[in-house]
Amino acid sequence: SPSTVDKKAGTTERFSSAGFILAAIGSSVGLGNMWKFTYVTGQNGGGAFFLLFIACLFIVGLPVLLGELAVGRAGRGDAVISFSKLSGKKWWGALGFVAVMAAFLVMTFYSTIAGWTLHYAVQSISGSLFESTDYQAVYDAFTASSAPIWWQIAIFVITGIVIAKGISSGIEKFNKIVIPGLLIILVIMLVRTLTLDGAAEGIRYFLYPDFSQLTFQSALEALGLAFFSLSLGMGAMLTYGAYVEKHQSLSAATLAVGAGDLAYALIAGLIIFPTTFTFGIAPNAGPGLVFVALPAAFAAMPFGNLFGGLFFILLAIAAITSCLALIEVPVAYLMRKYGHGRTKATVFVMIAMYVLALPVTLAAGGVLTDVTFAGRNLFDWLDFVTSNIMLPLGGLFVTILVGFVWKGAGEETGLKGWWLKAWLFSMRYIAPILIVLIFLKYAGII
């Protein structure tokens, strides 16, 4: 494929208006909402944590999201070039490179879990998922087997094909079909889980805030989760922003993505928690929650294997739309930097990612699980370093660029008056201070 990057004008590929909104929602809605959000909320006591998450989403997340989109559209390129263009200093490109690396690293473990969802979809449809009722044992046996390797390769192949097709006939088209589909099946699931015996108890746990459950640590986790869930801090929204037409409203897009992300998190919680309370599963069971809790619910409902199959397929699709955004970050960088066509850049990125993605999968329940350095195995390290260090760092760079260095940010967003002031205030003070707090906490300083 020919290069689509013009030396002066930047990238020449564009989304349609609706296509961009759906692709941005597709990027934000993913395993972060269904898998990570539910188990982290479960580990942090439920309702009060959900409120904190919403606060983080609105006070920090959405302002940073708008900042990323503005930087991408004004820079018309990947994180590296947009950072150096708008700051007027070449060394800012190195800060943008942190984001490119973060996206690359997140993909290695994100694709592992995405692969699991494909396996669960097939097992559910065929019915073999329901042969045993000990879903924890089923999960343990699966993650210890070699099957996750093959499912992860499937994720790579599917994602690679869509990315290679480009912005409008690949990413945009795919999202337009699957994002509305996902909503429909989730609502069907919701009707089922809200009529389960334990629904009232589950809803109470999820929505009734008990602030005594909160710790300072929870606040930091809520912020990190808001970042992850909105796809911030790794140049993903920034890169999508580069493909947005000038006349499209970035603030409207930001609100749409925020609403979409929150809606999917809310629905996910309303599916998971009634289920855990009905079937006696501890809500703080950890990362296996979706894979261990939901099969019990499917087993207990009519046509459960079909619902289960649909649910896991759509979960896989939600994960794939996020993978698209993750992979586009390094692909856009390579296309611009080395003048590669899209196909060549995609193949190159995929191969490089896979070299790391394979051992990461083996560390998630497989033979490398017990190989730890300083208490964490490879999978845990990647999750920890990206979510807790690189993402907030990438977010911090965006806030500094937009708040203090690049003067055109306000104009690019189209915000006026009070809204502009509030936004700049968050970018200059609230967001960076909260992000720095996260670091001090993890560094053990506070």
Residues that bind ligand PHE (CB under 6 A): 27-28, 30-33, 106, 228-229, 231, 234, 236, 322, 325-326
Nearest-approach distance from CB 55 to ligand PHE, in angstroms: 18
Q: How far is the CB of 230 from ligand PHE (least distance, A)?
A: 6
Give me the residue whose beta carbon is nearest to ligand PHE.
Answer: 32
Closer by beta carbon to ligand PHE, 199 or else 320? 320
Strands (E), 303-355: none
Q: Residue 91: what residue type?
A: W
End-to-end CA distance of the chain: 51
- Residue 408 has phi, psi (to 5 degrees) of -90, 5
Nearest approach, Cβ of residue 322 and ligand PHE (Å): 4
Q: Nearest 5 degrees, angle CA 257-CA 323-CA 384? A: 90
**Residue 336: which region, alpha, beta or left (left: phi > 0; alpha: psi -120 to 50)?**
alpha
The per-residue DSSP string of 136-152 comes to HHHHHHHHHSSHHHHHH
- Distance of alpha carbon 115 from alpha carbon 393, whole angstroms: 28
What is the torsional sign of CA 103, 58, 43, 199? negative
Determine the length of the chain: 446
Task: Give the residue with the Cβ less far from ligand PHE, 20 or 277.
Answer: 20
Contact 52, 219 (CB under 8 A): yes
Shortest Å distance, C-beta 58 to ligand PHE: 16
Tell me how far, at minimum, the Cβ of 359 lies from ligand PHE, in Å: 21
The amino acid occupying position 25 is I
Kindly state the smallest distance separating residue 236's Cβ from ligand PHE, in Å.
4
- The Cα–Cα gap between 213 and 45 comes to 6
Nearer to ligand PHE, 163 or 236 (CB): 236
Cβ-based nearer residue to ligand PHE, 58 or 404: 58
Nearest distance from residue 421's CB to ligand PHE, in Å? 28
**Element holding 372 (H helix, E strand):** strand 372-373
Nearer to ligand PHE (CB atom), residue 231 or residue 388: 231
Task: State the Rg of the chain over Cα.
Answer: 21
Cα 257 to Cα 175: distance, rounded to the nearest angstrom: 13
* Torsion on CA atoms 308, 156, 360, 186, rounded to nearest 10: -30
| Local structure of residue 166 (DSSP, 8 states) | -
Closest contact distance (angstroms) between CB of 32 and ligand PHE is 2
Which residue lies nearer to ligand PHE by CB, 41 or 229?
A: 229
Residue 57 or 121 with smaller CB distance to ligand PHE: 57
Rounded CA-CA distance 442/446 in Å is: 8
Instruction: State which residue, 33 or 377, has the beta carbon closest to ligand PHE.
Output: 33
Which C-beta is closer to ligand PHE: that of 138 or that of 345?
Answer: 345
In the complex, minimum distance from the CB of residue 41 to ligand PHE, in angstroms, rounded to a whole number: 13
**Exposure of 349 by Cβ count < 10 A (0-12 exposed, 13-18 middle, 19+ buried)?**
buried
